[in-house]
Amino acid sequence: MLSCRLSLAAAVIAVTAATAGPAAAAGNIQLVTSGLALPNGSAPPATQAFTDWCAGVCFPTTRQPVYDPRNGQAKGTIAVWGKNFQFGAGGSLCFSEFIVFALDPGEVHVASGDRGTCGAPIDPLLKPPLHQDKGAQVVIAGGGDGHIVGGTRAYRHWTGTFTDRVFVGFGAPTSGVGGIVYYDQLWFSISGR
């Protein structure tokens, strides 16, 4: 009888350990998108975090599908708002952004601080812009960092950080979405618990 109980206890521990691994791995989400910029027509999230971040001065930018970088499977969409654009020498710029990741298990809301997202142009001889027929004139390399500020369903209690890195094809303000023509490997890493 004792050996039966020990075997049952060992089986419970083995099942628990096997299921704990994937749950722990779910604390980091990797996503990627590439392609022409699509306008963000989404309603802003009805959260205090968004209201506080926006403070009445933000505006919608883009909404893109996102994919698992390992296998290319669709994972959901992102909707982005921006504010506080600041331009520096040589065409560099920094701004703040709020992103809603709408994924199957729920939404993750992230925000960069002021100057939390930055980029600068690359010499077009080194990296010529794609989609010049759509108005792209220059490639800006950059990225952002910030914090998880909310979420829904599986992510409603998450806290943590996010990082993104990207090449963006920009053109005149009348091209693409406010000058954003395309994203080339816009990559996200969200680490939360």
pLDDT by residue (tens digit) across 68-84?
Answer: 999 999 999 999 999 99
Task: Supply the pTM of this predicted model.
Answer: 0.85
Question: Residue 132 sits in which domain range?
Answer: 28-192
**Of 162, 57, 167, nearest in space to 121 by CA:** 167
Q: Would 23 be classed as within a structural domain? A: no
- Listed in order, strand segments (DSSP E) in 39-137 are 59-67, 74-87, 93-103, 106-111, 117-122
In a domain, 180, yes or no: yes
The predicted pLDDT at position 151 comes to 97
Tokens read off for 180: 């954003």
**Distance in Å from the first CA to the final CA of the chain:** 41
Give a yes or no: residue 12 inside a domain.
no
User: Which CATH number belongs to the domain containing residue 186 in this structure?
Assistant: 2.40.480
- Cβ-proximal residues to 187 (8 Å cutoff; 6+ apart), any chain: 30, 31, 32, 69, 164, 165, 166
Residues near 65 by Cβ (< 8 Å), separated by ≥ 6?
Answer: 33, 35, 74, 76, 77
Specify whether the backbone of 128 is left (phi greater than 0), alpha (psi in -120 to 50) or beta: beta
pLDDT computed for residue 114 by the predictor: 86
- Position 152 in a domain: yes
Question: Which ranges of the chain have pLDDT less than 50?
Answer: 1-25
Looking at the structure of the chain, the number of domains it has is 1
Rounded Cα distance, 74 and 115, in Å: 30
Question: Which neighbouring-strand residues pair with 175?
Answer: none
- Give the pLDDT of residue 15: 32
Looking at residue 148, what is its pLDDT?
97
Q: Which pLDDT score is estimated for 14? A: 34
Interior angle at CA 66, CA 63 and CA 71, nearest 5: 165
Residue 118 lies in a domain: yes
Q: Is residue 176 part of a domain?
A: yes
Amino acid 65 reads P
pLDDT of residue 18: 35
